[in-house]
Amino acid sequence: MKKNRIQRLFLPMILCLLLCFPVRVRAEEDASAALSISAPSAILMEASTGTICYAKNETEELPMASVTKVMTLHLIFDAMDNGQFAADDPITISEHAASMGGSQVFLEPNEVQNAETLIKCISIASANDAAVAMAEAVAGSEEAFVQMMNDRAAALHMDHTHFVNCCGLDAEGHYSCAKDLAIISRELILRHPQIFSYCTIWQEDITHTTDKGSFPFTLTNTNKLLKQYPYATGLKTGSTSVAKFCLSACATKDDMTMIAVVMAAPTPKDRFRDATTLLNYGFANTALYRDTDTPSACRAPLKKGCADFVSGEASSVFFYITTNAADLSLIECRKNLRKDLTAPVKKGDTIGSLDYYLQDKKIGSVPILATETVKKADYAFYLRRTFLQFFPADKRSGT
């Protein structure tokens, strides 16, 4: 009887405490699920590893508006890196490029601007006319450039993307998804980090010089996140009546770069709010490990070669990202050189790996590649080596 009275007394108090202080189960998933994202499709990716930290309908195929220009800029910088043209090379504006509607800087037919100015027009003001002018300079025609875009998309396994134009104007069959746009955004910023020196410019004046004379034109950045978010570094906005409001946003904090892609947000404020939510979530819930002490060089034993060892080095720096609050200081690197290595070995062949473990669980590896070519030893090699063993140089010289 006394026991029942105690239960009746304390049970309501216990229930009250449970309601006031709910138990957190699987906190990481709860935090992700609790994100309030207004856009129907979004993704958050860590740039150095490509790790997806959050996703919402990330493969849904949607019109992408001017976020298209991320691929356009990527191919432009590729062409520059390949020596096809330089930043100060003159580009003549065609009738077709000048006819582009939508977002533009009002280039005129036969107007001449250098390549860097047109890149600024694309990066800052999202200019469709400048995008088409550069596409023609790279590939000869917009159609040929669009084929390059689709070829690159296929190579990057952007399986839910198809381009019809290089600027993002609404067109049948022109679509992408949040995941694919994150992939190409990552490709652009890792391979061509110079993009940041363009897409972070808030305002800059250019000069139109035509038959009508010269006059200034002010470029103003369409990415308001640059003013609203302290860690923002880019990358590209886009909006049309069909695509609504899209954004590929990059931000860097504590040496970690996040890419947040938002598609079809209902308003401009919503796309920036969604991107801010995603980026804040990423920086608060992820940690990045970068092995800055990777061994610079090593030697692997070699059988039947003209040398007993072959030199090698790690092919890249190892990165690892976690969202579960793991102690990354416990990560251990173990060198694993092949024991069955037999000549010939070519420069670039894999001769081992650097394997990384966290509390004895393997979390990744980096190949060790040969930095030299070692030929297979033949009869003449062994004969010469035997001769040198019996008649070393000091004896042959009479010393």
DSSP calls for 256-290: EEEEEEEEEESSHHHHHHHHHHHHHHHHHH-EEEE
* Cβ count near 93 (within 10 Å): 22
Catalytic (active site) residue 353:
no
Catalytic (active site) residue 2:
no
Among the listed residues 66, 123, 185, 239, the single catalytic one is 66
Q: Which two tokens stand for residue 262?
A: 């938002």
Q: Which two tokens stand for residue 20?
A: 């006031």
- CA 51 vs. chain centroid, Å, equals 10
Give the span between the Cα atoms of 114 and 280, in whole angstroms.
38
In the chain, CATH 3.40.710.10 sits at 38-285
Are residues 73 and 188 in contact, defined by beta-carbon separation less than 8 angstroms?
yes
Task: Match 């134009």 to its residue by tokens.
Answer: 165
Position 5 scores a pLDDT of 45
Position 388 scores a pLDDT of 57
Q: What does DSSP assign to residue 23? A: P
Position 266 scores a pLDDT of 97
Position 394 scores a pLDDT of 58
- CATH architecture label of 298-379: Sandwich (2.60)
Task: Match 């173990």 to its residue by tokens.
Answer: 334
Among the listed residues 56, 69, 179, 236, the single catalytic one is 69
Position 17 scores a pLDDT of 32
In the chain, CATH 2.60.410.10 sits at 298-379
CATH superfamily ID and name for 38-285? DD-peptidase/beta-lactamase superfamily (3.40.710.10)
Give the span between the Cα atoms of 108 and 93, in whole angstroms.
7
Least Cα distance to 274 among 36, 63, 34 occurs for 36
* Cβ count near 306 (within 10 Å): 16
**Per-residue model confidence as pLDDT tens for the chain (399 residues):** 444 444 444 434 433 333 333 332 233 444 555 689 999 999 999 999 999 999 999 999 999 999 999 999 999 999 999 999 999 999 999 999 999 999 999 999 999 999 999 999 999 999 999 999 999 999 999 999 999 999 999 999 999 999 999 999 999 999 999 999 999 999 999 999 999 999 999 999 999 988 888 999 999 999 999 999 999 999 999 999 999 999 999 999 998 999 999 999 999 999 999 999 999 999 999 888 888 887 668 889 988 888 888 999 998 888 888 877 778 889 999 999 998 898 898 999 999 999 999 988 999 999 999 999 988 877 665 566 665 566 665 555 554
Angle value at C-alpha 187, between 186 and 191, nearest 5 degrees: 115
Position 227 scores a pLDDT of 97
Among the listed residues 94, 126, 239, 353, the single catalytic one is 126
Least Cα distance to 189 among 88, 71, 280 occurs for 71
Task: Supply the pTM of this predicted model.
Answer: 0.79
Catalytic (active site) residue 361:
no
